Structure 1
Amino acid sequence: MSNFNTFILPIRIAQALFTIIILGLTAYVVNSWSFHSYYYQYYSYSPSQANFLLFCSIWTILILAYLVLAPVRFPRAAHKYGILAAEAVTMIFWFAGFIALAVLLGDLGCGSHWGVCRAAEAAVVFGAFEWLLFTGTTILAALHVWRSRKTGDMAHDPAVEVQPAV
Protein backbone atom coordinates (compact mmCIF):
# COMPACT_ATOMS: atom_id res chain seq x y z
CA MET A 1 0.00 0.00 0.00
CA SER A 2 1.57 3.20 -1.12
CA ASN A 3 0.88 6.76 -0.18
CA PHE A 4 -1.89 6.95 -2.83
CA ASN A 5 -4.24 5.72 -0.09
CA THR A 6 -3.94 9.04 1.69
CA PHE A 7 -5.00 10.91 -1.46
CA ILE A 8 -7.75 8.75 -2.91
CA LEU A 9 -10.30 9.18 -0.10
CA PRO A 10 -10.22 13.01 -0.22
CA ILE A 11 -10.50 12.85 -4.02
CA ARG A 12 -13.54 10.54 -3.79
CA ILE A 13 -15.09 12.83 -1.17
CA ALA A 14 -14.52 15.85 -3.43
CA GLN A 15 -16.01 13.96 -6.38
CA ALA A 16 -19.07 13.07 -4.31
CA LEU A 17 -19.44 16.62 -2.98
CA PHE A 18 -19.18 18.19 -6.43
CA THR A 19 -21.63 15.74 -7.95
CA ILE A 20 -24.20 16.50 -5.23
CA ILE A 21 -23.76 20.22 -5.83
CA ILE A 22 -24.13 19.73 -9.58
CA LEU A 23 -27.15 17.48 -9.04
CA GLY A 24 -28.91 20.26 -7.15
CA LEU A 25 -27.94 22.97 -9.61
CA THR A 26 -28.91 21.02 -12.71
CA ALA A 27 -32.15 19.78 -11.14
CA TYR A 28 -33.05 23.43 -10.54
CA VAL A 29 -32.05 24.38 -14.11
CA VAL A 30 -33.96 21.50 -15.70
CA ASN A 31 -37.03 22.18 -13.59
CA SER A 32 -36.95 25.91 -14.28
CA TRP A 33 -36.55 25.46 -18.03
CA SER A 34 -39.35 22.90 -18.16
CA PHE A 35 -42.90 24.14 -18.48
CA HIS A 36 -46.03 22.11 -19.04
CA SER A 37 -49.48 23.62 -19.17
CA TYR A 38 -52.65 21.72 -19.98
CA TYR A 39 -54.64 24.95 -20.21
CA TYR A 40 -52.57 26.66 -22.86
CA GLN A 41 -51.23 23.52 -24.50
CA TYR A 42 -47.80 25.03 -24.38
CA TYR A 43 -44.91 22.61 -24.09
CA SER A 44 -41.37 23.66 -23.48
CA TYR A 45 -38.64 21.25 -22.54
CA SER A 46 -35.36 21.76 -20.83
CA PRO A 47 -32.30 21.69 -23.09
CA SER A 48 -30.69 18.32 -23.65
CA GLN A 49 -27.36 19.77 -22.50
CA ALA A 50 -28.77 20.47 -19.03
CA ASN A 51 -30.48 17.08 -18.98
CA PHE A 52 -27.18 15.38 -19.83
CA LEU A 53 -25.33 17.15 -17.02
CA LEU A 54 -28.09 16.00 -14.67
CA PHE A 55 -27.56 12.46 -15.97
CA CYS A 56 -23.80 12.81 -15.38
CA SER A 57 -24.35 13.61 -11.72
CA ILE A 58 -26.68 10.64 -11.23
CA TRP A 59 -24.26 8.37 -13.13
CA THR A 60 -21.39 9.59 -10.94
CA ILE A 61 -23.23 8.71 -7.74
CA LEU A 62 -23.61 5.14 -9.02
CA ILE A 63 -20.01 4.93 -10.23
CA LEU A 64 -18.65 6.32 -6.96
CA ALA A 65 -20.60 3.66 -5.09
CA TYR A 66 -18.93 1.05 -7.30
CA LEU A 67 -15.45 2.60 -7.02
CA VAL A 68 -15.63 2.87 -3.23
CA LEU A 69 -17.50 -0.31 -2.33
CA ALA A 70 -16.29 -2.85 -4.89
CA PRO A 71 -12.62 -2.97 -3.84
CA VAL A 72 -13.53 -3.18 -0.16
CA ARG A 73 -16.67 -5.36 -0.11
CA PHE A 74 -16.69 -7.13 -3.49
CA PRO A 75 -13.05 -7.62 -4.57
CA ARG A 76 -13.98 -9.94 -7.46
CA ALA A 77 -16.06 -7.12 -8.97
CA ALA A 78 -13.12 -4.72 -8.69
CA HIS A 79 -11.37 -5.81 -11.87
CA LYS A 80 -8.62 -3.40 -12.91
CA TYR A 81 -10.08 -2.97 -16.40
CA GLY A 82 -13.57 -2.47 -14.96
CA ILE A 83 -12.32 0.28 -12.70
CA LEU A 84 -10.39 1.88 -15.56
CA ALA A 85 -13.46 1.72 -17.81
CA ALA A 86 -15.71 3.22 -15.12
CA GLU A 87 -13.25 6.05 -14.51
CA ALA A 88 -12.68 6.75 -18.21
CA VAL A 89 -16.36 6.71 -19.20
CA THR A 90 -17.24 9.01 -16.31
CA MET A 91 -14.40 11.36 -17.23
CA ILE A 92 -15.64 11.51 -20.85
CA PHE A 93 -19.22 12.09 -19.71
CA TRP A 94 -18.18 15.03 -17.55
CA PHE A 95 -16.09 16.54 -20.33
CA ALA A 96 -18.92 16.28 -22.83
CA GLY A 97 -21.48 17.51 -20.31
CA PHE A 98 -19.81 20.65 -19.09
CA ILE A 99 -18.59 21.65 -22.56
CA ALA A 100 -22.06 21.17 -24.12
CA LEU A 101 -23.80 23.24 -21.44
CA ALA A 102 -21.11 25.94 -21.64
CA VAL A 103 -21.61 26.22 -25.39
CA LEU A 104 -25.38 26.46 -24.94
CA LEU A 105 -25.01 29.20 -22.33
CA GLY A 106 -22.67 31.09 -24.64
CA ASP A 107 -25.26 30.91 -27.41
CA LEU A 108 -28.12 32.03 -25.13
CA GLY A 109 -26.44 35.23 -23.98
CA CYS A 110 -27.86 35.13 -20.47
CA GLY A 111 -28.65 38.41 -18.76
CA SER A 112 -26.96 39.44 -15.57
CA HIS A 113 -30.01 38.89 -13.34
CA TRP A 114 -31.39 35.58 -14.54
CA GLY A 115 -31.02 33.06 -11.70
CA VAL A 116 -31.46 29.94 -13.82
CA CYS A 117 -28.64 31.02 -16.07
CA ARG A 118 -26.37 31.66 -13.10
CA ALA A 119 -27.17 28.23 -11.70
CA ALA A 120 -26.33 26.67 -15.06
CA GLU A 121 -23.05 28.57 -15.17
CA ALA A 122 -22.19 27.35 -11.68
CA ALA A 123 -23.00 23.78 -12.78
CA VAL A 124 -20.60 24.20 -15.70
CA VAL A 125 -17.80 25.38 -13.41
CA PHE A 126 -18.33 22.54 -10.94
CA GLY A 127 -18.60 20.13 -13.88
CA ALA A 128 -15.20 21.27 -15.10
CA PHE A 129 -13.71 20.60 -11.66
CA GLU A 130 -15.43 17.21 -11.58
CA TRP A 131 -13.89 16.42 -14.96
CA LEU A 132 -10.44 17.36 -13.64
CA LEU A 133 -10.88 15.10 -10.62
CA PHE A 134 -11.95 12.17 -12.77
CA THR A 135 -9.08 12.86 -15.16
CA GLY A 136 -6.69 12.45 -12.25
CA THR A 137 -8.24 9.22 -11.00
CA THR A 138 -8.42 7.87 -14.55
CA ILE A 139 -4.71 8.52 -14.94
CA LEU A 140 -4.05 6.66 -11.68
CA ALA A 141 -6.14 3.70 -12.86
CA ALA A 142 -4.41 3.71 -16.27
CA LEU A 143 -0.99 3.78 -14.61
CA HIS A 144 -1.94 0.73 -12.57
CA VAL A 145 -3.09 -1.14 -15.68
CA TRP A 146 0.13 -0.16 -17.47
CA ARG A 147 2.39 -1.19 -14.58
CA SER A 148 0.67 -4.53 -14.04
CA ARG A 149 0.36 -5.52 -17.71
CA LYS A 150 3.28 -7.98 -17.63
CA THR A 151 2.37 -9.65 -14.36
CA GLY A 152 -1.05 -10.77 -15.57
CA ASP A 153 -2.58 -9.57 -12.31
CA MET A 154 -6.21 -8.65 -13.00
CA ALA A 155 -6.97 -7.29 -9.54
CA HIS A 156 -7.50 -3.64 -8.78
CA ASP A 157 -4.69 -1.55 -7.40
CA PRO A 158 -4.96 -1.55 -3.61
CA ALA A 159 -2.96 1.67 -3.59
CA VAL A 160 -5.85 3.60 -5.14
CA GLU A 161 -8.76 2.14 -3.22
CA VAL A 162 -10.55 3.71 -0.33
CA GLN A 163 -9.37 1.94 2.80
CA PRO A 164 -11.87 1.08 5.55
CA ALA A 165 -11.30 2.75 8.89
CA VAL A 166 -9.29 0.62 11.30
Structure 2
Amino acid sequence: MFSSNIIVLGLRVAQFTLAFVVLGLSAYISNWYHVDTMSPPPAQVGWLLFVSLFTIISIGVLEGLPRFAPRFFHPYAALSLEFSNALFYFAGFIALSTFMSKLLFCRGTVCGAARADVAFGIFEFLLWVASTVLTSRDVFKKGIRRSNNTQAPLGAPPMKEAPAP
Protein backbone atom coordinates (compact mmCIF):
# COMPACT_ATOMS: atom_id res chain seq x y z
CA MET A 1 0.00 0.00 0.00
CA PHE A 2 1.22 3.48 -0.84
CA SER A 3 2.19 5.92 1.81
CA SER A 4 0.07 9.04 2.19
CA ASN A 5 3.12 11.19 1.39
CA ILE A 6 3.57 9.48 -1.99
CA ILE A 7 -0.10 10.01 -2.84
CA VAL A 8 0.05 13.68 -1.83
CA LEU A 9 3.22 14.14 -3.87
CA GLY A 10 1.50 12.61 -6.91
CA LEU A 11 -1.47 14.93 -6.38
CA ARG A 12 0.87 17.91 -6.15
CA VAL A 13 2.58 17.00 -9.42
CA ALA A 14 -0.80 16.66 -11.15
CA GLN A 15 -2.05 19.93 -9.63
CA PHE A 16 1.10 21.76 -10.69
CA THR A 17 0.95 20.40 -14.24
CA LEU A 18 -2.74 21.12 -14.69
CA ALA A 19 -2.29 24.61 -13.25
CA PHE A 20 0.04 25.38 -16.16
CA VAL A 21 -2.49 23.88 -18.59
CA VAL A 22 -5.28 26.07 -17.18
CA LEU A 23 -2.93 29.06 -17.23
CA GLY A 24 -2.08 28.49 -20.90
CA LEU A 25 -5.69 27.97 -21.98
CA SER A 26 -6.94 31.00 -20.06
CA ALA A 27 -4.12 33.14 -21.44
CA TYR A 28 -4.97 31.99 -24.98
CA ILE A 29 -8.64 32.93 -24.52
CA SER A 30 -7.73 36.27 -22.98
CA ASN A 31 -5.28 37.01 -25.77
CA TRP A 32 -7.93 36.16 -28.39
CA TYR A 33 -10.32 38.66 -26.83
CA HIS A 34 -7.63 41.35 -26.72
CA VAL A 35 -6.48 40.81 -30.32
CA ASP A 36 -9.53 39.72 -32.31
CA THR A 37 -12.46 41.44 -30.61
CA MET A 38 -13.32 44.92 -29.42
CA SER A 39 -14.52 43.67 -26.04
CA PRO A 40 -12.48 42.76 -22.99
CA PRO A 41 -12.16 39.10 -21.98
CA PRO A 42 -14.82 37.78 -19.63
CA ALA A 43 -14.10 38.02 -15.93
CA GLN A 44 -14.44 34.24 -15.66
CA VAL A 45 -11.34 33.77 -17.79
CA GLY A 46 -9.45 36.31 -15.70
CA TRP A 47 -10.52 34.45 -12.58
CA LEU A 48 -9.12 31.16 -13.89
CA LEU A 49 -5.88 32.98 -14.77
CA PHE A 50 -5.65 34.20 -11.18
CA VAL A 51 -6.53 30.80 -9.72
CA SER A 52 -3.88 28.98 -11.74
CA LEU A 53 -1.22 31.44 -10.58
CA PHE A 54 -2.53 31.11 -7.01
CA THR A 55 -2.19 27.33 -7.35
CA ILE A 56 1.43 27.54 -8.48
CA ILE A 57 2.29 29.76 -5.51
CA SER A 58 0.25 27.56 -3.13
CA ILE A 59 2.07 24.42 -4.16
CA GLY A 60 5.37 26.18 -3.57
CA VAL A 61 4.22 27.16 -0.08
CA LEU A 62 2.66 23.79 0.77
CA GLU A 63 5.70 21.80 -0.33
CA GLY A 64 8.51 24.24 0.42
CA LEU A 65 7.59 25.60 3.82
CA PRO A 66 7.57 22.28 5.73
CA ARG A 67 10.93 21.35 4.20
CA PHE A 68 12.85 24.62 4.41
CA ALA A 69 11.12 26.65 7.13
CA PRO A 70 9.17 24.26 9.36
CA ARG A 71 8.78 26.86 12.13
CA PHE A 72 6.57 28.95 9.84
CA PHE A 73 4.41 26.03 8.74
CA HIS A 74 1.06 25.56 10.44
CA PRO A 75 -1.23 22.61 9.61
CA TYR A 76 -4.45 24.64 9.79
CA ALA A 77 -3.02 27.29 7.46
CA ALA A 78 -2.10 24.53 5.01
CA LEU A 79 -5.60 23.10 5.29
CA SER A 80 -7.17 26.50 4.62
CA LEU A 81 -4.88 27.02 1.62
CA GLU A 82 -5.91 23.66 0.18
CA PHE A 83 -9.59 24.38 0.77
CA SER A 84 -9.23 27.84 -0.81
CA ASN A 85 -7.77 26.32 -3.97
CA ALA A 86 -10.63 23.82 -4.22
CA LEU A 87 -13.19 26.56 -3.67
CA PHE A 88 -11.55 28.89 -6.21
CA TYR A 89 -11.50 26.21 -8.92
CA PHE A 90 -15.11 25.29 -8.15
CA ALA A 91 -16.17 28.92 -8.59
CA GLY A 92 -14.03 29.28 -11.71
CA PHE A 93 -15.25 26.32 -13.68
CA ILE A 94 -18.89 26.91 -12.70
CA ALA A 95 -18.69 30.57 -13.75
CA LEU A 96 -17.00 29.82 -17.07
CA SER A 97 -19.38 26.99 -17.92
CA THR A 98 -22.36 29.23 -17.11
CA PHE A 99 -20.91 31.95 -19.34
CA MET A 100 -20.39 29.45 -22.15
CA SER A 101 -23.94 28.12 -21.85
CA LYS A 102 -25.34 31.60 -22.53
CA LEU A 103 -23.38 32.14 -25.75
CA LEU A 104 -25.44 32.18 -28.92
CA PHE A 105 -22.75 30.36 -30.87
CA CYS A 106 -19.45 28.78 -29.98
CA ARG A 107 -17.04 27.63 -32.65
CA GLY A 108 -13.40 27.75 -33.50
CA THR A 109 -10.26 27.16 -31.52
CA VAL A 110 -11.10 29.70 -28.83
CA CYS A 111 -14.35 27.89 -28.09
CA GLY A 112 -12.52 24.58 -27.86
CA ALA A 113 -9.96 26.19 -25.56
CA ALA A 114 -12.73 27.53 -23.32
CA ARG A 115 -14.36 24.10 -23.14
CA ALA A 116 -11.00 22.53 -22.32
CA ASP A 117 -10.45 25.23 -19.69
CA VAL A 118 -13.71 24.19 -18.01
CA ALA A 119 -12.74 20.51 -18.16
CA PHE A 120 -9.29 21.06 -16.69
CA GLY A 121 -10.82 23.33 -14.04
CA ILE A 122 -13.04 20.41 -13.02
CA PHE A 123 -10.01 18.11 -12.83
CA GLU A 124 -8.12 20.65 -10.72
CA PHE A 125 -11.12 20.99 -8.41
CA LEU A 126 -11.26 17.23 -7.92
CA LEU A 127 -7.51 17.03 -7.27
CA TRP A 128 -7.70 19.81 -4.69
CA VAL A 129 -10.68 18.18 -2.98
CA ALA A 130 -8.72 14.92 -2.76
CA SER A 131 -5.65 16.58 -1.27
CA THR A 132 -7.84 18.61 1.11
CA VAL A 133 -9.45 15.42 2.36
CA LEU A 134 -6.06 13.77 2.89
CA THR A 135 -4.67 16.83 4.65
CA SER A 136 -7.71 17.25 6.88
CA ARG A 137 -7.55 13.58 7.80
CA ASP A 138 -3.92 13.98 8.85
CA VAL A 139 -4.50 17.27 10.67
CA PHE A 140 -7.50 16.11 12.67
CA LYS A 141 -6.01 12.71 13.43
CA LYS A 142 -2.67 14.06 14.64
CA GLY A 143 -3.70 17.50 15.83
CA ILE A 144 -1.19 20.25 16.32
CA ARG A 145 1.89 18.88 17.98
CA ARG A 146 4.61 21.31 18.74
CA SER A 147 8.01 20.20 19.87
CA ASN A 148 8.63 20.42 23.60
CA ASN A 149 12.28 21.11 22.90
CA THR A 150 13.25 24.12 24.99
CA GLN A 151 16.83 24.20 23.82
CA ALA A 152 18.03 27.37 22.11
CA PRO A 153 18.41 27.28 18.33
CA LEU A 154 21.63 26.06 16.73
CA GLY A 155 22.62 24.16 19.84
CA ALA A 156 23.46 27.24 21.93
CA PRO A 157 23.32 26.69 25.68
CA PRO A 158 20.10 27.78 27.36
CA MET A 159 20.04 31.15 29.06
CA LYS A 160 20.48 31.24 32.82
CA GLU A 161 18.81 33.62 35.16
CA ALA A 162 21.01 36.26 36.66
CA PRO A 163 21.14 36.38 40.45
CA ALA A 164 19.08 39.13 42.04
CA PRO A 165 21.18 42.07 43.34
TM range (shorter): 0.7 to 0.9
5+ residue gaps, structure 1: 37-41, 156-166
1:43: Cα distance to partner?
4.9
Distance in 1, matches of 2:146 and 2:77, equals 10
Asked whether the equivalents of residues 80 and 154 of structure 1 are also in contact (C-alpha less than 8 Å), the reply is: no
Residue aligned with 1:44, SS: coil
- Percent identity over the alignment is 36
Alpha-carbon separation, structure 2, partners of 1:136 and 1:32:
33
Amino acid at match of 2:133: I
State the Cα RMSD in Å: 1.9
Instruction: Report the Cα distance in structure 1 between the residues aligned to 2:130 and 2:78, rounded to whole angstroms.
Output: 13
Q: Deviations along 1:9-57, whole A, 9 cap, x unmatched? A: 1111100110001100000001111259xxxxx9521100111011110
Aligned to 1:4: 4
Which amino acid is the alignment partner of residue 118 of structure 1?
G
Q: AA paired with 1:153? A: R
Structure 2 Cα separation of the partners of residues 101 and 110 of structure 1: 15
How far, CA to CA, are the matches of 1:19 and 1:34 in structure 2? 22
DSSP 3-state at the match of 1:26? helix
Establish whether residue 48 from structure 1 lines up as the match of residue 40 from structure 2: no
Structure with the bigger RCO (C-alpha within 8 Å, sep 6+) is: 1
User: Which residue of 2 is the match for residue 24 of structure 1?
Assistant: 24
TM-score, normalization by structure 2: 0.82
Q: Structure 1 residues 116 and 86, CA, compared in 2 at 3 Å: closer, same or farther?
A: same
Aligned mates of 2:116, 2:18 — CA distance in 1: 11
1:144 is aligned to 2:138: yes
Q: TM-score, normalised by structure 1?
A: 0.81
- How much does 1:140 deviate? 1.2
Who is 1:68 aligned against?
A: 63
Contact 1:35 1:45 in 2 (8 A): no
Corresponding letter in the other structure for 2:51: C
SS at match of 2:41: coil
What is the aligned residue count?
Answer: 146
Q: CA deviation at 1:154?
A: 5.5
**Higher Cα Rg, which structure:** 2
For structure 2, the 5+ residue unaligned runs are: 148-165
Q: Superposition pairs for residues 36-115 of structure 1, below 5 Å?
A: 43-111=38-106, 113-115=107-109
Aligned-partner Cα distance in 1 for 2:70–2:51:
25
